[in-house]
Structure 1
């Protein structure tokens, strides 16, 4: 992974990614400027959920451009948790996979993957 956050921040970011993956059952991604290089304002982490799962969690989130209270609170709370866990200015958002794929075609680095070696 060619991320601009450096070490050991990347280790902490991957650990945070594992927590998100375990909680939601889907892999989060490092996106945005921190995924492309060393100059960034914040660290964008996105969790793309299948549309039906997103809609079940956030039934009031009628359009992807409009926020609702539940979505905003969940994203803000997980952003803050990420900041505490990693020491990085995390901008965490949950997105519908359809809208994420239609609107954002930038670099995505999977977070929290772990390799298991067989002896």
Structure 2
């Protein structure tokens, strides 16, 4: 696993991931250059929602982009929250799972995973 954000930033990034999972019920992923090594411009975090959840959140928008007000606002707000929580330049985007899986086949690291075990 070649994560480029280092410690303690990774701990903060995982805590942010848990907040996102608590809100959406799905874990976000660290992707892009920061998921592969120490040279990166920003830290790409992606939340891939099942198609039906994505479509309910963004009705009528096949491929949200900056012209989609709701998508843009949510992504920008979560990027800013991530920046404040982690100190990292977060680029946060919400994606439809089918589209993300078809178009992006790079490295993905789940953020905020919780380990549970019986005592």
TM, length-normalised to structure 1: 0.94
CA contact (8 A) 2:65 2:72 kept: no
Q: Partners of 2:2 and 2:112 in 1: how far apart?
A: 15
Query: For each residue in 1:24-78, what CA deviation from the matched residue of structure 2 results, as whole angstroms up to 9, or x when unmatched?
Result: 0001000000000000000000000001100100114233567400000000000
Contact 1:28/1:47 (<8 A) preserved: yes
CA RMSD of aligned residues (A): 1.3
- Contact 1:61–1:67, Cα closer than 8 Å, also in 2: no
Secondary structure class of the residue paired with 1:74: helix
- Indicate the residue corresponding to 1:32 in structure 2: 32
Match of 1:97 in 2: 97
Unaligned regions of 5+ residues in structure 1, if any?
Answer: none
What is the correspondence of 1:52-91 to structure 2 with a 5 Å cutoff?
Answer: 52-64=52-64, 67-91=67-91
Detail structure 1 runs of 4+ shifted over 6 Å in the superposition.
none
CA distance in 1 between counterparts of 2:44 and 2:71 reads 16
Q: Which runs of 5+ in 2 are unaligned?
A: none
SS of corresponding position for 2:35 = helix
Q: Could you state the TM-score of these two structures normalised by the residue count of structure 2? A: 0.94
Change (3 A) 1:65 1:78: closer
